[in-house]
Amino acid sequence: MIERWLHEIQNLPSVKGSFIATMRGAVMESHGLDIGTEDMQNIAIRILRIHALTFQADNPLTEIEFFWSDLFIVGKISQNVLLVTICDNPQVVSLLRITINVSLSHIVQEKKIYKKAKSHAINPSHLLRKAQLEADEIKILAGK
Amino acid sequence: MALIGNLRDIKLPSLIQLNCMEHNTAKLTIERAGRFGFVYFENGQVTHAEYDPYIGEEAVYKLLGLVDGRFKVESDVRPPVRTIHTNWSNLLLEGMHKLDHAQGDGENIYNKMFERLLTIRGVNMVWVLDAGGETIFSTDQQGASQLLNVVFIIMQANRMAAPYSRQPVRFVSILTGDKRLIITPYQREYIVIELDKKTKSDTVIPLIKQAIGKI
């Protein structure tokens, strides 16, 4: 069933694929992407670090979009599940958002996903601990 | 009865000219993005002005740079203090002269950019941060401390794209419970734009690009 919802997203124009991760960045499922789990985890962790910043500011993000000249990434968080969608460019974004919302609302209801996501639920600030970051990242965080 | 309008329709030099030629005693209040400026007229002369943190002639010169902002003229309001002794026409001439010279400086560039960004529907506030993430210009003097660590966010974005793109990220749009933030690197600085939550990033980003690119 999860595969089906990720497939729905991939059917949209310019979408390369998508994956879902826990709030610790562990990849639970992916579809259509030609990158390894490690790369997916790297993307998830970096999105979750930004989420942690907004969480610390008492205004946690629910959605984040990144625009490059040749890449578009959307991250959506709901009920301890992060859904990341990777696209060549932002085409039919309205339709993409609706599909992501519908898919994620179904995905979080999947028992397998729900259980693992719940077991991985952590205080988001954990991802900003010094041990998790590179030296230049620690410096930038400390400077603010 | 107060005269109310917007500087987009009547420019400040025209307002000053009008009040001085009519020998008015009045208070002119200008509000733009939560920041207030005041110009006082007494018997047809500009006698006092404030535009935080400027007072006197310098405040008038700064206010002359505004191309947008709501204004209100209240008759028969006297100035609390006299800080300007220059004749109004000389004051205007000097102000316009300074404005011409300021065309190339940073503050003027950002003022013009702010004017364009603030005309985009849904845009509430704009900040310009230096390479270290410190606010150097903003449309609102408060709230800068509430900003997220933008440098860290852009760093994370650039480091996640590696498998697919070597380009630097162009825009990051963050939707939280009550607002949307758009962050974009600009030369060696960062521009942060706060929008209404309902404003969609894909519709507003082309307008932002246009507003920033016009500098």
A70 → closest Cβ in B167, B176, B205: B167
Per residue of chain A (144 residues), give pLDDT as tens.
888 999 999 999 999 999 999 999 999 999 999 999 999 999 999 999 999 999 999 999 999 999 999 999 999 999 999 999 999 988 889 999 999 999 999 999 989 998 999 998 889 999 999 888 999 999 998 875
Helix axes B12-21, B57-64, angle to 10 degrees: 130
Please answer whether residues B45 and B87 qualify as being in contact, where contact means their C-beta atoms are separated by less than 8 angstroms. Answer: yes
Segment B81-105 mean pLDDT = 84
Lowest mean pLDDT among A75-89, B12-26, B87-101, B108-122: B108-122
Q: What domains can you pick out in chain B, each with its CATH number? A: 3-99 (no CATH), 106-212 (3.30.450.30)
Q: What domains can you pick out in chain A, each with its CATH number? A: 2-134 (3.30.450.30)
What pLDDT sits at residue B74? 95
Polymer length in residues for chain A: 144
Interface test with B, best of A59, A66, A92, A101 (most B CBs within 10 A): A66
What string of H, E and C letters represents the secondary structure of B142-164? Answer: CCHHHCCCHHHHHHHHHHHCCCC
Residue B215 binned pLDDT confidence (cut-offs 50, 70, 90): very low
CA distance B64 to chain A (A): 35
Segment B182-205 mean pLDDT = 92
Q: Does residue B60 sit in helix, strand or coil?
A: helix
Please answer whether residues A70 and A90 qualify as being in contact, where contact means their C-beta atoms are separated by less than 8 angstroms. Answer: no
pLDDT averaged over every residue in chain B? 87
What pLDDT sits at residue B35? 84
What pLDDT sits at residue B146? 63
Interface test with A, best of B183, B202, B203 (most A CBs within 10 A): B202
CA distance B168 to chain A (A): 7
Q: Among A11, A63, A1, A13, which Cα is nearest to A32's?
A: A11
